[in-house]
Each structure stands twice: as C-alpha cells, then as structure tokens.
Amino acid sequence: MTKKLNRRDFIKNTTANTVGVASIASGISLTTFAASENPVSNKKRWGMLIDTNKLSEANIEDMVNACQEEHGWGNEKYSTGEQKPDWIKKVKVKDKATGKIDSLPLMCQHCEQPPCVDVCPTNASVKREDGIVLVDKHLCIGCRYCMMACPYDSRSFVHENLSNQKADTPRGKGTVEACTMCVHRVDKGEVPACVEAVGGDGVIFGDLYDANSKINKTLKKIQSTQIRADLNLNTGVRYSGI
C-alpha cells in the first residue's frame, strides 16, 4: 500500500466501519459514540462561567437536581452522609472580613493541570484534548488517590452496588466518579444538563478558546476568578461574583 493513512481517512474509515457495526449491533451504544463527526481536538477548551450574582439558591438547587437526573446519582440506598456521591453541590460562603454571603455550585473544575490525572497510577483519570477531565471506569482500581489530590473535593467513590443506571453514564461500585461536563451531550453539540437547567446568563458554557463564543467574550469583559487560583491549575470552570 503506497498511500499513507492520514487522520482524516482513518476517521472516515472508522466511521464507515462503525456505522456498519452499529447497524448490525445497534444495541451497543459505545460503537456509535466513536463515530462522532467532530473529533475531539485541543483547538477547543470547554469551560463554564458561573456568575453567582445571577444565580439564586433555587437555581443552584436546580443545577444539582438536573445533574442527578442526567447521571443517575443520589439514589444510593445504603451510603450515608459523606459516603453518598456528590458530583455537584451547593456551597455557601461568607467573607471573613465583610460578612458578604455567596452561594455557588461546586463541581469538578476541569483543570488544565489536573492533580487527579497526575497522581492516578493506572491512567484511569484522563484529560481529553478539549479539556474535559474524566475517569475511565474500566481502568480505575479504586485506590482513591485522586480524591486525596483533588483540591475541590469534587470526586466521589461508589460505596455500593448500583442498579438502573443511565445509558450515557456508566458507573460502578468500587470506582471513582465526578462531573463529566456532560461529555455525552457536549459531543452531540448540546450543553451540560446543569447549564440547561438554569437557562439565561447565570451559567455560560462554551469554548474558552473561540474568540466568537459568548464565554470568551464575557470573560474578556468582566472580572472573574478561579477557585484556588493560587494553585495555578488553570481551571475550565470560572466564577464571577465571588
């Protein structure tokens, strides 16, 4: 064969093959997933801007509920208190000097330099080219070192057997999980469930690198911050108002 297989051809062929496989075994959603027409690339960096001034406490609760509904966590029967998964939580903070109170949603911050990915012994914690940080549930051995390393308390360990899981969110007893930035929706061109639940400008989702995106334009205009910016992790989730 003289012609070298380049990436585009590879994707085209894979797509054709995958469509074939998928039409035979249409029940296997994993194979159709691989046939996405927009391959993941580092030309994008998905992010979120959360404006706490525009979010009511009810908005934040809606975000938590939407996440639970989308991914199916929170119905664990036996796990108690801190054992329950907590992909996104409502946190209320008070400034020590002024007493100003803010409420905000806290979840995986999708760092550019994620400590969880650094410490994972088996490469189960991964950062996609487009900045979304995920756990490969097939490689995770449940050592929980990533939970020790995460500065945001954003990862959960599944403490019990699960049933009735959502098709797009495979989970498993004995493995670690966290916010996926609704990667299954993002790959289809949709926005994460929590963003959809709020509507309006309270939470803006988009490509941080794209100069025409709303998130990029807004971040250029307003004052924003990263949680624990001192750690220099360059988070994908940004906040304004706190």
Does 122 sit near other proteins (CB under 8 A)?
A: yes
Contact, 179 vs 108, CB < 8 A? yes
Does 231 sit near other proteins (CB under 8 A)?
A: yes
Does 148 sit near other proteins (CB under 8 A)?
A: yes
Does 109 sit near other proteins (CB under 8 A)?
A: no
Residues contacting residue 16 through CB under 8 Å, at least 6 positions apart: none
Does 140 sit near other proteins (CB under 8 A)?
A: yes
Residues contacting residue 122 through CB under 8 Å, at least 6 positions apart: 139, 140, 141
Distance CA 207, CA 181 (A): 13
Residues 30-49 within binding reach of other proteins (CB under 8 A): none
Does 145 sit near other proteins (CB under 8 A)?
A: yes
Q: Which of 81, 211, 212, 221 binds other proteins (CB under 8 A)?
A: 81
Does 90 sit near other proteins (CB under 8 A)?
A: yes
Distance CA 1, CA 181 (A): 42
Does 87 sit near other proteins (CB under 8 A)?
A: no
On the CB side of 192, CA atoms within 13 Å amount to 27
**Could you tell me which of 126, 123, 70, 65 has the C-alpha nearest to residue 90?**
65
Q: Which of 68, 83, 169, 234 binds other proteins (CB under 8 A)?
A: 83
What is the smallest separation between the CB atom of 126 and other proteins, expressed in angstroms? Answer: 10
What is the smallest separation between the CB atom of 178 and other proteins, expressed in angstroms? Answer: 10
Contact, 49 vs 104, CB < 8 A? no
> Which residues partner with 46 through β-bridges?
207
Angle at 29 between CA 23 and CA 33, to 5 degrees: 95
What is the smallest separation between the CB atom of 173 and other proteins, expressed in angstroms? Answer: 5
Does 139 sit near other proteins (CB under 8 A)?
A: yes
Residues that bind other proteins in the complex, under the rule CB under 8 A:
76, 78-86, 89-97, 101, 103, 106, 115, 118-124, 139-145, 147-153, 155-161, 173-176, 227-228, 230-231, 242
